[in-house]
Chains A and B, each alone.
Chain A
Amino acid sequence: MGAKTKTKAAVRRGLRRRRALGALFAGVALGALLLGLLVLLVLIATTALQSTQLVAMRATADAGLSLSLRTLQLGPRGGGTAGFFPYVTVARVAPGSPAEALGLRRGDALLRVGEVPVERVSDVWRAIAALPSGVERASIAWVPGRRGLLGSLRAVPVPDRPGEFRVVLSKVAPGSAAERAGLQPGDVLVEAGGLPITGTQQAWQALVVAARTQGGKVPLTIEREGERLTAVLDVERRGELPFQRSLLRAYGAFLTSLNEPRYPEHAGLASAFLGSLYVILVTALVAFPLGIGAAVYLEEYARRGVLTEILQILIANLAGVPSVIYGIIGLEILARSLGLGRSILAGGITLALLVLPIMIIAAREALRTVPPSVREAAYGVGATRWQVIRHHVLPYALPGIFTGMILALSRALGEAAPLLLLGAFLYVSYVPQSLWDSFTVIPLQIFDWATKPQEGFAEVAAASIVVLLVLLLLLNGTAIWLRNRYQKRWS
């Protein structure tokens, strides 16, 4: 009796353990699936987040500014502070822009945007992005360029000390901060805000860095006739610039402007966008007829035999050949042997070779969904094989074929490797006009921008990814819509 209940309990315990193990396994399996989805979400979210900086970048471009990063490097030789001090300079001011009207010039250094100190170019964009919504202007503070701030400087070698220079003010610019502080020609600049002055450009840089860290009024130590004096320079100028932040405007400008290799705020996707469009068009025109033709042959004509078997194996496995391989073929056969060069035509045909197996497989599946009874009925009233295909099989299968084609084209749209090999240019600053023009496509532009070390290009790459994903979504959406709308259900 006792022994029997014991075994019963043991069995129950065992069953409970087995069930718990099962539940654990189910949980792990669900976790695996969710992890995949999580990565997809993180991918999309981080990219989208990064791409939002495009709005602020475009706002600075609209205000007329091109910015770049410079660094003041202080060696240990100068004594005191050593290290790197990054600062932002105005690399270009668009003529007729608000920035020009405000008095900003090429070579000026930005100190603050909306009261936020800026060290790097991305700080400027971050500050603009952080403005309260609805606010379309921000105060900025800047230091005029060397000539506007001081005048002319000259480096004079120090006697008996080779390699060392004294920086001498040779001319004071009228109306400059130097004039207002009472500097005179012949003054030797020694120290700015505690930073030693060792060169003409470096003197101005030291003033900029000191102004940013210590405020607008920088004490400047000078030597006049052997005597050390301190003058206080009011280096900072202030004003307000309009920064229009609008997602639509930003993407509109991004899609319609040409590429810009140096300033990411001006970078545009127009060449790549049109390049992608033309290449895909060529791909579709080449692969579509070939794909349908091959599928019709295999489904409607081919007898079962060695040739058909080989064809099937080839098609199934060509779809899995790495895309770089097609790039080599495109480069060697299309671009070189056939003399198509690095043109849109060569790119389109290369991608057509790549997606052809996918198209054939998709078209065959679509043809297979047409039930035999349709064909038999047509044969029954005396139609030839071609008439059956032309009037009965193809019309029914076409929506399915189209769906497959669109999915194959969306694969081609995202493909970068074969075109990278073919030598599509990474930097194209014109809109392609003919099939023989060299070109670039969106994925390649992403590749190029993603590898650029300058600040801001990663964000521009993220914005292009958003454009690419939206295009792919539209294509896939069309395919799904087509499938649901037109696909006949055979019961």
Chain B
Amino acid sequence: MTRPRSEGSRTATSPPPSASLRAPRGRGLKEQLIRGLFLLCGLSAVAITLLTAWTFVQGSLLFFREVSPAEFLGSIRWAPLTVPQSYGVLALIADTLVITGIALLVALPLGILSAVFLSEYASERARRLLKPVLEVLAGVPTVVYGFFALRFVTPLLQGTVLPDLGFWNGLSAGIVMGFMILPLVASLSEDVLYAVPRSLREGAYALGATKFEVIWKVVLPAGFSGIGAAFILAMSRAIGETMIVALAAGRTPAWPPDPTEPMMTLTTTIVNIATGDHEATAFIWSALFAIGLLLFVTTLVLNIASYFIVKRYRERYE
């Protein structure tokens, strides 16, 4: 606690001068206790992660004792309640990816273009006015988006371009999910574009490039990895989204994955199992952990990947 720290940027927490003046003993003990208390709070995050991992691994072990991983990941038939039972998640993964893909098709172009407008074209006043609106869009609860998809977007699509669209379908869930993750993409990309150093832009201007050419050929390529991080994070968010798909996409796995049909994602499957009327000891509960583990690992890996991309990117320009 009294060892001096080397980083100049963190002088705030450099050793208290009082320590070298030998504080009374009781005071030192109290300080240690308080420090310990704060450390415990900090460790709660580790505890949550370990608890999660332990729960999922333990539950999954039970599951994989009965069902081989090859069947789990290799079969397209998800039928835990009909005899013969089958626990293949391939169709669920396919449905999840199709809906995620639709969401990204909406969110990425719109998000990146919005970010370009905010960071490159908008005046300071317009930025201050428009950015909070995007934050509002991000703050709308997902169950509200689900309601919107089910009661507005699906009827709208049925009434205009796709009269054969089902009441439940992956398409409108995906589109609405795209708008849900749009603020995330926009705000991350904007940070990235804003951080592109002025010298790069000015160099391009000096060569006679127009503003569009500077953005298209210099700023966007320079921010490419940061935008990639936004892409990964948006993907992770879309894969883990639950309420929109639970409301609007239906509860039947579609194979082949056709977004105009009802679809069932990994998250809806979890909801289905958990809200189903099963005995507390039923084997199907362990499937909850296997799918949960799959989801947890996938999203955690994606998040950490994007975390490191952003971190490396920041260091490059700082």
Mark A residues whose CB is within 8 Å of B.
15, 18-19, 21-22, 25-26, 28-33, 35-37, 39-40, 42-43, 46-47, 50, 289-294, 296-304, 310-311, 313-318, 320-325, 327-329, 331-333, 336, 353, 356-357, 360, 370-372, 375-376, 379-380, 382-386, 388, 410-411, 413-417, 420-421, 423, 443-444, 446-447, 450-451, 458, 461-462, 465, 468-469, 472, 476
Closest chain A residue to B5 by CB distance? A303
B21 interface residue per 8 A CB criterion: yes
B242 touches A324 (CB 8 A): yes
B201 interface residue per 8 A CB criterion: no
Mark B residues whose CB is within 8 Å of A.
1, 3, 5, 7, 10-14, 16-19, 21, 23, 27, 30-31, 34-35, 37-46, 48-49, 51-52, 55-56, 59, 109-111, 113-114, 116-118, 120-121, 130, 133-134, 136-137, 139-148, 150-152, 179, 182-183, 186, 210-213, 215-216, 233, 236-237, 239-243, 246-247, 267, 270-271, 274-275, 280, 288-289, 292, 295-296, 299-300, 303-304, 307
Separation of A235 and B188 alpha carbons in the complex (Å): 68
The listed residue (A331, A379, A414, A450) touching B141 by CB distance below 8 A is A414
Decide yes or no: A360 and B240 within 8 Å by CB, A22-B210, A301-B38 being known contacts.
Answer: no
B274 touches A421 (CB 8 A): yes
A317 touches B117 (CB 8 A): no
Residues of chain B within 8 A (CB-CB) of A318 are 45, 48-49
Decide yes or no: A421 and B240 within 8 Å by CB, A375-B12, A385-B16 being known contacts.
Answer: no
Separation of A379 and B215 alpha carbons in the complex (Å): 49
A301 touches B35 (CB 8 A): yes
A380 touches B17 (CB 8 A): yes
Separation of A382 and B117 alpha carbons in the complex (Å): 52
Decide yes or no: A328 and B140 within 8 Å by CB, A301-B39, A388-B16 being known contacts.
Answer: no
A-B pairs with the 4 shortest C-beta distances? A322-B240, A293-B41, A414-B141, A22-B212
Q: How far is the CB of B189 from chain A (nearest CB, A)?
A: 11
Q: How far is the CB of B169 from chain A (nearest CB, A)?
A: 15
Residues of chain B within 8 A (CB-CB) of A322 are 239-242, 267, 295-296, 299
Q: List 5 A-B contacts (CB under 8 A).
A: A37-B130, A50-B151, A303-B5, A328-B55, A329-B48
A321 touches B38 (CB 8 A): no
B147 touches A333 (CB 8 A): no
Separation of A369 and B210 alpha carbons in the complex (Å): 39
B213 touches A18 (CB 8 A): yes
B121 touches A29 (CB 8 A): yes
Q: How far is the CB of A266 from chain B (nearest CB, A)?
A: 21
A317 touches B17 (CB 8 A): no
The listed residue (B7, B179, B299) touching A36 by CB distance below 8 A is B179
Closest chain B residue to A353 by CB distance? B48
B38 touches A36 (CB 8 A): no
Residues of chain B within 8 A (CB-CB) of A450 are 143, 146-147, 150-151, 247
B114 touches A33 (CB 8 A): yes
